[in-house]
Amino acid sequence: MFSHKNKQHQRFFQLLPDGQIKDIGGTGHDNERFWHMQEKKLQLFSSSKELTAVFDCCYEEVGYSYWEGLHQETIPLEIRVYNSRSDLFDYLTKFTSRYLIDYGALTVGNHTYGIPQLVDYDHGG
């Protein structure tokens, strides 16, 4: 998951082995079309191959890492990288349903994936 640190803009994409970025569930942005690792830094490039963001790894565990960086040295960004597709789907479900989870209207267990379709009639559904 890629986002501004303030969570204002968020999206999902896949870092492909050939250095391209594949959008998941949307059209993405031309500022993030290619990626490269250099000196333990994750670099993102635009569709015209201009450097747009640089990230440092802040936290790593098996199958997951968290990176912080800047867009053109000004806008704070973060990336959460999942090595396993099932981890991404689990996180995607919790991310897309976060308001219902925070409100207490929904509980999402481990290994759950998909986007729930819920109907709530005046909070009594």
Q: Are 117 and 43 in contact (CB under 8 A)?
A: no
- Domain map of the chain by residue range? 2-83, 84-125
Q: Give me the mean pLDDT over the 6-11 stretch.
A: 78
Q: Measuring CA to CA, which residue among 124, 76, 70, 117 is closest to residue 93?
A: 117
Catalogue the E-assigned strands of 62-110: 64-71, 75-82
Name 2's Cβ contacts closer than 8 Å, sequence gap at least 6: 10, 11, 12, 13, 32, 77, 78, 79
Q: What is the pTM of this model?
A: 0.66
Q: Which helix (H) or strand (E) holds 23?
A: strand 21-24
Q: Are 25 and 12 in contact (CB under 8 A)?
A: yes
| 102 burial type by CB count under 10 A (0-12 exposed, 13-18 middle, 19+ buried) | exposed
3-state secondary structure of 17: coil
pLDDT tens, 72-121? 888 999 998 887 655 555 566 666 666 677 777 777 777 666 666 666 66
DSSP state at residue 72: T
pLDDT tens, 29-75? 889 999 999 999 999 999 999 999 999 999 898 878 999 999 988 89
